[in-house]
Structure 1
Amino acid sequence: MLSRTWAPVLDVGFDQRVPVHRLLLFGTQHLVTLSAIWVFPVLIGVTLGLGGDDVSHLIQASFLLAGIVTVVQSSRVVRLPIVQGPTAAFFAALLAAGATYGLGAAFGSMVVAGLIFMLLSLPIGRLGVLTHVVRFAAEPLVYGTLCLIIGAQLATLGLPNWFGAEGEPAYGWKLFGIGLATLLVVVACLLFGGDTIVKRAAVLIGMLAGTLLALAFGLWSPPALGGTVLVGPPAWLPFGFDVRWPAVLLMLLAFLESSAEAVGMYALVSRWGGVTLTRTRITRGLFTEYAGTVAGALFGGVGTATYPENAGIVRVSRIGSRYVTMTAGLIAIALAFVPVLATFVAGLPGAVLAAASTVLFGIIALSGVQMMSGVEWDDLNLTVAATAFILALGGQWLPESMVATMPDWVRAVVTTPMMFGAVLLIVLNALINHGLRRVLGR
């Protein structure tokens, strides 16, 4: 067993159903918060100089991948209210591999790395490699610290983006005011919404209010959709298929980071519902994520992991019904075949999305503190957490002249706190707590 049973903190349990109208509302809230599903494809397109059609392929495939895996996970596998979405680890790996070898090789290498992790997740008695990874990644010290690192990294996407994108006509304090208004609406709904739908849908209400304000003050206009195809399926191998072994190594590290993130998120959410997870159940969940990422890569989808912002929504709304996340997954699948709607959602004001997500980023970080409440903070545990925390965040500010001399895959790892932090925490925890501690004990 990976965790003991905790007292539930949810008003609606994992297996409870909610009325249809609320099901659609809460499911939409989960989906709208899944900002990386369109942000990462757009950033990849801008960085690699892709055309509009290529970016559309990335968005459609990411919706399809996230939707299918979310439905399967919520209904059949881990049976928790989790939402799958593109993770920063795969985003960084795709950028590095795509810039060096092309997106065909990046996605092809993701397929190979995913197949390797699928093999590792097959139970082979006590020799299964993934069993040992789960053992180290699921400990409160490891995942609690990783939540802090994730929250700190996500903070760089929060307040700075309230001003909008530099170069936009509305860039500056006016958009910041829209972001501030959005945050105030979210906080007001949380504080004064009582035990009503206003509190449950606080994030969605805040996004709607912020978007309407931006529209009213002329700071945002709906995206032009005239040239967008109304209905169309995701494209098969839109960038071709190739495999490069340095890119495979980079993707393996991305899978390692997403595995640590997923295992910790399973443990965190199950704790809120007072449920104890077995290793078998978690391993099946990881296998599903790997298989989904492999399949999604064939359509150009950014690799998936359990999305922390959606776990934040579960905690804020106290709605833990997995039927809500199943609904979000079904909506995502539908949007994968309606590019015109995906384009519109991607065109929502960035300042509004950033402001509405700020509360969720803080919840993720402080959930890590909550997880570590039972950790005995002796010198060894302090060394593991403190070293990984500072090095993971510090990698973002390494001298450019030094970063430029690194191989692409090394640069992508050390400059991405979530990925670097996961590697450091698992390695340091294994060496110090499961190695040195035993030696000192003897």
Structure 2
Amino acid sequence: MSNTVLDVNEKPSGGQLITLSFQHMFAMFGSTILVPQLVGLSPAIALLTSGIATIVFLLITKFQVPAYLGSSFAFIAPIILASKIGGIGSAMIGAMFVGLTYGIVSLIIWKSGYKWIMKLLPAIVVGPVIMVIGLGLAVTAVDMAMNIPVEGTDLKEYSFLHFSAALVTLFTAIFCTIYFKNILSTMPILIGLVVGYIYSIVIGIVNFEPIKEANMFALPDFLIPGVHYEFVVTSKILLVMVPIVIVTISEHIGHQLVLGKVVNRDYIKEPGLHRSLLGDGFGTFVSALIGGPPKTTYGENIGVLAITRVYSVYVIMGAAVIAILLSFFGKAMAVIATIPTSVLGGVSILLFGIIAASGLRMLVEANVDFGNSRNLVIASVILVIGIGGAKFIVSESLSIEGMALAAIIGVILNWVLPGRKEAETPNLNTTE
């Protein structure tokens, strides 16, 4: 602890608080606003709910865990699918039940301990499902990067100009990831978006009208059940969204293990996995209640903690407050709205690839033996069912498909196939 600049419950000075809080806000900013851009939600509401969810998390974990909650990439495909089924309101309802599922799991862990969930979610199941998340979105990323809508039709056509913007964005983010050090190394997505946006302005593909028309201050686009959409719960929506917690709970455990190593604490035991899961889940519930995407603890911000050795929860709280305030600046949100789709596609190529690769890394770090036919079968089935978009249709209103079906089948195969060993604790620095 001698290298620690500020420990978890130490208060920074006023100047330190502002500077360090902005660092955390910028670290999460690019990824947090990218998710709503991809699924049709408001970037402003994503920022607002990231701040609110982080404060909720800090309260539930008794201000012992310096973690920032941002938009979860694991739910991009499920939100898009749920929106096609019943509109964006259905996706929000599904996200609320995701939060409630976290609450149920946290209650079970509180009463029975955490070892059972480690056995339920071994690397051989979670790793391939994480790969499905990234690879399943690959077509979307490439389409965004190089194709533009044909005016007056539902068709798209290739655009070299837009694809060049995607490539500039992509290579900037790659350069930052590989060559930048210290704080800048935690913000490759944000820097890539900024450089890609500037390039897009130079080549003339940015429409500035939304910025001119926007007010300086504006309320985020809330989505309130009973006001903006009818609150109708269907089994189809639940089966699209809820099974993804198989992955995100593993992600949460991995982040808590890594964070604990960074700040020299055992967060699985104190304040307890049940508390951190409850904080994550309740943050997601509150976010969905007002129109934000599901939340997860952010690896980028854990990286900032490791680099700065500033672990203060007051700094995390400061970043949350800044995000909340920024969400009400209409001009700033309008600038985000003018980012070309191709620029978003450029960073998505890298991000979705990293998600897939992180699933592969999890398998490597867990020393999963693919010479064992049992492991080979489980991984193969998960990958093909998830990426292939398989569906299990029970009735018109009841079906399980894609990533959700892959996750469920993976868990079942792991339990019923002979030769199952005790699952290792996921050592995961995975998707956001």
Q: In 2 relative to 1, CA 120–276 (structure 1 residues): closer, same or farther, beyond 3 Å? A: closer
- Secondary structure, in 3 states, of the residue corresponding to 1:305? strand
The answer to whether the aligner puts 1:181 opposite 2:171 as a matched pair is: no
For residues 426 and 222 of structure 1, the distance between their equivalents in structure 2, rounded to whole angstroms, comes to: 49
Alignment match, 1:344: 335
Structure 2 residue ranges without an equivalent (≥5) = 422-432
The answer to whether the aligner puts 1:375 opposite 2:360 as a matched pair is: no
Q: In 2 relative to 1, CA 436–408 (structure 1 residues): closer, same or farther, beyond 3 Å? A: farther
Q: CA RMSD in A?
A: 4.3
For residues 349 and 405 of structure 2, the distance between their equivalents in structure 1, rounded to whole angstroms, comes to: 23
The answer to whether the aligner puts 1:122 opposite 2:107 as a matched pair is: yes
How far off its partner does 1:218 sit?
A: 0.8
The answer to whether the aligner puts 1:333 opposite 2:319 as a matched pair is: no
8 Å CA contact 1:87–1:258 kept in 2: the answer is no
For residues 423 and 315 of structure 1, the distance between their equivalents in structure 2, rounded to whole angstroms, comes to: 34
The alignment's TM-score, normalised by the length of structure 2, stands at: 0.73
Alignment match, 2:197: 211
For residues 262 and 406 of structure 2, the distance between their equivalents in structure 1, rounded to whole angstroms, comes to: 24
What amino acid sits opposite 2:164 in the alignment?
A: G
Structure 1 residue ranges without an equivalent (≥5) = 1-9, 43-54
Q: Percent identity?
A: 22
What amino acid sits opposite 1:375 in the alignment?
A: N
How far off its partner does 1:38 sit?
A: 2.6
For residues 105 and 245 of structure 1, the distance between their equivalents in structure 2, rounded to whole angstroms, comes to: 9
Q: How does 1:75-224 map to 2 (within 5 A)?
A: 77=61, 79-89=65-75, 107-108=92-93, 110-111=95-96, 114-115=99-100, 117-123=102-108, 127=112, 132-137=116-121, 139-163=122-146, 165-167=148-150, 172-193=159-180, 195=181, 198-224=184-210
For residues 150 and 394 of structure 1, the distance between their equivalents in structure 2, rounded to whole angstroms, comes to: 12
Q: In 2 relative to 1, CA 196–259 (structure 1 residues): closer, same or farther, beyond 3 Å? A: closer
Tell me the alpha carbon deviations over residues 37-96 of structure 1, each in whole angstroms, 9 at most, x when there is no partner. 432452xxxxxxxxxxxx65xx5443332222234446863725453214453x555555
For residues 414 and 383 of structure 2, the distance between their equivalents in structure 1, rounded to whole angstroms, comes to: 13
Which is further off, 314-323 or 71-80?
Answer: 314-323
8 Å CA contact 2:33–2:47 kept in 1: the answer is no
How far off its partner does 1:287 sit?
A: 1.1
Of residues 198, 213, 219, the one that matches 1:232 is: 219
For residues 251 and 126 of structure 2, the distance between their equivalents in structure 1, rounded to whole angstroms, comes to: 7
8 Å CA contact 1:203–1:356 kept in 2: the answer is yes
8 Å CA contact 1:146–1:421 kept in 2: the answer is yes
How far off its partner does 1:215 sit?
A: 0.4
How far off its partner does 1:329 sit?
A: 3.1
Alignment match, 2:401: 414
Q: In 2 relative to 1, CA 117–333 (structure 1 residues): closer, same or farther, beyond 3 Å? A: same
What amino acid sits opposite 1:367 in the alignment?
A: S
Of residues 257, 268, 274, the one that matches 1:278 is: 268
Alignment match, 1:303: 294
Of residues 405, 412, 415, the one that matches 1:427 is: 412
What amino acid sits opposite 2:276 in the alignment?
A: G
For residues 322 and 393 of structure 2, the distance between their equivalents in structure 1, rounded to whole angstroms, comes to: 42
8 Å CA contact 2:67–2:316 kept in 1: the answer is yes
8 Å CA contact 1:96–1:408 kept in 2: the answer is no
Aligned length: 399
For residues 327 and 170 of structure 1, the distance between their equivalents in structure 2, rounded to whole angstroms, comes to: 44
The answer to whether the aligner puts 1:63 opposite 2:63 as a matched pair is: no
8 Å CA contact 1:36–1:87 kept in 2: the answer is no
8 Å CA contact 1:225–1:344 kept in 2: the answer is yes
For residues 11 and 143 of structure 1, the distance between their equivalents in structure 2, rounded to whole angstroms, comes to: 33
8 Å CA contact 2:124–2:368 kept in 1: the answer is no
Alignment match, 2:429: none
What amino acid sits opposite 1:161 in the alignment?
A: M
For residues 409 and 307 of structure 1, the distance between their equivalents in structure 2, rounded to whole angstroms, comes to: 33
What amino acid sits opposite 1:185 in the alignment?
A: T
Alignment match, 1:3: none
What amino acid sits opposite 1:263 in the alignment?
A: I
For residues 12 and 364 of structure 1, the distance between their equivalents in structure 2, rounded to whole angstroms, comes to: 31
For residues 100 and 163 of structure 1, the distance between their equivalents in structure 2, rounded to whole angstroms, comes to: 27
Alignment match, 2:233: 244
Q: In 2 relative to 1, CA 352–239 (structure 1 residues): closer, same or farther, beyond 3 Å? A: same
Tell me the alpha carbon deviations over residues 219-261 of structure 1, each in whole angstroms, 9 at most, x when there is no partner. 2233514554523364654325534342445543354554344
How far off its partner does 1:212 sit?
A: 1.0
8 Å CA contact 1:162–1:355 kept in 2: the answer is yes
For residues 165 and 58 of structure 2, the distance between their equivalents in structure 1, rounded to whole angstroms, comes to: 35
8 Å CA contact 1:62–1:86 kept in 2: the answer is no
What amino acid sits opposite 1:118 in the alignment?
A: G
8 Å CA contact 1:85–1:305 kept in 2: the answer is yes
- Secondary structure, in 3 states, of the residue corresponding to 2:71? strand
